[in-house]
Amino acid sequence: MTYQLYYWDGIQGRGEFVRLALEEAGADYRDVARENGGVEKMMAFLEGRGGHMIPFAPPFLTDGSDVISHVANILHYLGPKLNLVPADETSHFFAHGLQLTITDFITEIHDTHHPLGTDDYYEDQKREAKIRAGRFLKSRLPKFLEYFESILAHNPTGPAHAIGGRLSYVDLSLFQVLEGLRYAFPNALKRHEPSYPNLLKLHAMVKERPNIRAYLSSRRRLAFNESGIFRHYPELDQDT
């Protein structure tokens, strides 16, 4: 059965975390909103015309009659099916918890450029964004990176992966977070990265996975831009 992924066209956004898992696994999937009439089909779902299982917002995934929303929930669903999580239930819950922590991290990254909310443009909250970004780079960024570095360091099977002895969807998501941070805060990341050697090795490993390498060089991989989660505004990439 072909998976159908629904997410906004034109940005990587939260949908990219799901795409990376599908691409790594070589799964058969459709990126519906990028097809002719796909946005209309997605909006029909969100308006309740697809049945009672109405997602609040993209991304969401359909697998036959199943409708799964939210990145962490989608990856929790796909992980066992795509062989991207260890088989035992304890690992399933641990991986899900790590992905939920990544969700928190992504929210804080997004809020550096929209600290007052998404109803206003960045240009309408630049002063507040500069304050928020400064605090994020000083305290919250290292707090999250230190946590994930510690997760790798304490993995009983070795520091190459976040959980277990082989690639999981958590590894793919950590790769995407570092890619996005390098785009949004290149100067800050250059200073921070040497403190997190395990994360850097994980990032390099994921980038060279054959399916991921092929995806990154394909037209399916959209470029980062100033409409997504990770946005590069030089005035926010401050010294810390």
- Residue 91 in contact with residue 163, Cβ under 8 Å? yes
Confidence at residue 51, expressed as pLDDT on a 0 to 100 scale: 72
Asked if CATH classification 1.20.1050.10 holds for the domain at 89-209, the reply, yes or no, is yes
Radius of gyration of the chain from Cα atoms?
18
Task: Assess whether the previous peptide bond of 86 is cis (omega < 30° from 0).
Answer: no
Interval 118-139: pLDDT, tens: 988 999 999 999 999 999 999 9
- Residue 175 in contact with residue 19, Cβ under 8 Å? no
Confidence at residue 164, expressed as pLDDT on a 0 to 100 scale: 95
Give me the residue spans of the domains in the chain. 3-81, 89-209
d(CA 204, CA 181): 15
Q: Which CATH class is domain 3-81?
A: alpha beta
- Residue 91 in contact with residue 84, Cβ under 8 Å? no
Taking alpha carbons only, the member of 122, 24, 120, 147 closest to residue 78 is 24
How many CA atoms does the CB half-sphere of 171 hold within 13 Å? Answer: 29
Taking alpha carbons only, the member of 6, 21, 54 closest to residue 173 is 21
d(CA 59, CA 6): 5
DSSP character at residue 13: T
Confidence at residue 49, expressed as pLDDT on a 0 to 100 scale: 74
Confidence at residue 240, expressed as pLDDT on a 0 to 100 scale: 52
Same fold, 3-81 and 89-209: no
Report, as ranges of residue numbers, the positions in the chain whose pLDDT lies below 70: 50, 239-240
